[in-house]
Amino acid sequence: PLHVWWALLPPPLDVVVGLRQVHFLAQYWTDVRGERWARDAVAEDWFPFIASQRFTLREFATQPRRWFAFSSEWADLPGAPVPSPLPPPAPRSPDAPS
C-alpha cells in the first residue's frame, strides 16, 4: 500500500511512511503466522492515515478524513489543478539525422 517514492520525502512525511510500513508489516506477519488481526486503535481510529489504503501525496494533503480522528468528518479541500502530462514524443524515423 505504499508508493516507493514516499521514502524520498523529507521529515515529517518520511515519518508517515515509516508508520504506515510498521502497520502494514504487522498485518502481513500476523497473516503469515496464521493469526487473526486484532484492531490497531492508534492506526485505525486516532491517525487514519496510517491504516488508509494506498493514497497519493495530493490525496493526503486534500483529504482531512485521512489526517486525524477529529478531522474524519471534514469535507475535502480543493486541490490545485494537475496539469495534463505531455504527449510522448513522436517516434523518430530511422533515416533522421542524430
Give pLDDT, residue 34.
Answer: 95
pLDDT tens digit string along 14-53? 777 788 889 999 999 999 999 999 888 888 888 888 888 8
Q: How far apart are CA 67 and CA 12, in angstroms?
A: 13
Cell of 77: 479541500
Q: How far apart are CA 9 and CA 15, in angstroms?
A: 9
Give the predicted TM-score (pTM) of the model: 0.60
Cell of 11: 521529515
Q: How far apart are CA 94 and CA 90, in angstroms?
A: 12
How remote is the C-alpha of 87 from its chain's centroid? 26
